[in-house]
Chain A
Amino acid sequence: MHYVEQILPSLISGTGMTLSIFFWTIIISIPLGILVGLGMTTKFKPLTWLINVYVWLMRGTPLLLQLIFVFYGLPIVGIVFLRYDAALFAFILNYTAYFAEIFRGGLQAIPVGQYESARVLRLTNWQTLRRIVIPQVVKIVLPSIGNEVINLVKDSSLVYVIGLGDLLRAGNVAMARDVTLLPMLLVGVIYLLLTAVCTLVLKRLEKHYSYWR
Chain B
Amino acid sequence: MLELKGITKKFGGKTILDDVNLTVENGQILTIVGPSGAGKTTLLRCISGLATVDAGTFLLDGEAFDPATNRNNDAVIGVVFQDFQLFPNLTVLQNVTLAPTMVLKKSAAEAEKEARQLLHQLNLEGKADLFPYELSGGQKQRVAIVRALAMHPKLLCYDEPTSALDPDLRREVEQIILDLKQEGMTQIVVTHDMPFAESIADQMLRVEPKS
Contact = CB atoms under 8 A, between A and B. Distances in A.
A121 B147 contact: yes
A127 B50 CA distance: 18
Contacts of B83: 113
A116 B103 contact: no
Given A121-B147, A122-B73, A123-B103, A116 B88 contact: no
B50 A119 contact: yes
B76 A122 contact: yes
A153 to B, nearest CB: 30
Interface string A56-91: 000000000000000000000000000000000000
Contacts of A121: 98-99, 103, 147-148, 151
Interface string A141-170: 000000000000000000000000000000
Given A131-B98, A132-B89, A122 B103 contact: yes
Contact of A139 (B87, B89, B90): B89
A138 to B, nearest CB: 9
How would you classify the secondary structure of chain B's contact residues: helix, strand, loop or mixed?
A: loop
A207 interface: no
Nearest to A111: B85
B131 A211 contact: yes
A205 to B, nearest CB: 15
B49 interface: yes
B93 interface: no
Contact of B102 (A127, A139, A211): A127
Contact of A114 (B50, B87, B148): B87
B81 interface: yes
A117 interface: yes
Contacts of A123: 98-99, 102-103
B31 interface: no
A136 B89 contact: yes
Contacts of B148: 120-121
A44 interface: no
A3 interface: no
Nearest to B104: A122
A118 B103 CA distance: 11
Nearest to A127: B102
Nearest to B147: A121
A131 B79 contact: no
Interface in A92-143: 111, 113-114, 116-123, 127, 131-132, 135-136, 139
Contacts of A122: 71, 73, 76, 99, 103, 151
A7 B151 CA distance: 68
Interface string B81-122: 101011111100000001100110000000000000000000
Nearest to A120: B79
Contacts of B85: 111, 113-114, 116-117
B78 A131 contact: no
B92 to A, nearest CB: 11
Contacts of A111: 85
B84 to A, nearest CB: 8
| Most chain A CB within a 10 A radius of its CB, from B90, B99, B147 | B99
In the complex, which of the residues A111, A113, A120, A122 has the most CB atoms of chain B within 10 Å of its own CB atom? A120
Contacts of A114: 85, 87
Interface in B152-211: none
Contacts of A132: 87, 89-90
A121 B102 CA distance: 10
B48 interface: yes
Interface of A: 111, 113-114, 116-123, 127, 131-132, 135-136, 139, 211-213
The list of the 9 closest CB pairs from A to B, nearest first, reads A117-B85, A121-B99, A113-B85, A213-B133, A122-B103, A135-B89, A212-B131, A120-B79, A132-B87
10 contacts: A119-B50, A120-B49, A121-B103, A121-B148, A122-B151, A123-B99, A131-B102, A132-B87, A211-B131, A213-B88
